[in-house]
Amino acid sequence: MIMSTDLNSNSVVAKGKLVTLKAGNYPIVGPGVNFLEMPSTATALLLECQGSRAAGESCWYALAKDQMIVVWEDQLEEDADQVHQ
């Protein structure tokens, strides 16, 4: 399981960290219903934790391909080599 926090700088998933996102469609933050399609993995910057599910997975605002998107923790590559520290 990937740890998540926006306060602990030792965490793998934390505000200001570069992470690798899995391929998929990500909701774009803003008016309307728009999605950012990523056909392959992409690097993103975690901006702000939005909360977490009962199961403990966190939801984040992230910046990827010049768009602010919504990312769930399970959409991140779990391989420690894929997290840019």
Q: How far is CA 11 from the centre of its chain?
A: 14
**Domain-by-domain residue ranges, the chain?**
18-78
Question: What confidence tens digit (pLDDT) does each residue in 8-52 have?
Answer: 333 468 889 999 999 999 999 999 999 999 999 999 999 999 998
Quick one: DSSP state of residue 74? G
pLDDT band (50, 70, 90) for residue 53 = confident
Give the bridge partners for 48, in sequence order. 61
Query: Is the predicted pLDDT of residue 82 greater than 90, yes or no?
Result: no
- pTM for the whole thing? 0.76
Q: Cα separations (Å) of 37 from 65, 69, 79?
A: 10, 11, 22
Number of other CB atoms surrounding residue 74 within 10 Å: 13
Question: What confidence tens digit (pLDDT) does each residue in 60-77 have?
Answer: 999 999 999 999 999 999
Query: Residue 11: its pLDDT value, please?
Result: 46
What is the torsional sign of CA 17, 51, 58, 39? negative
Q: Which CATH number fits domain 18-78: 1.20.1510, 3.40.50, 2.30.30, 2.40.128?
A: 2.30.30
More confident residue, 3 or 64: 64
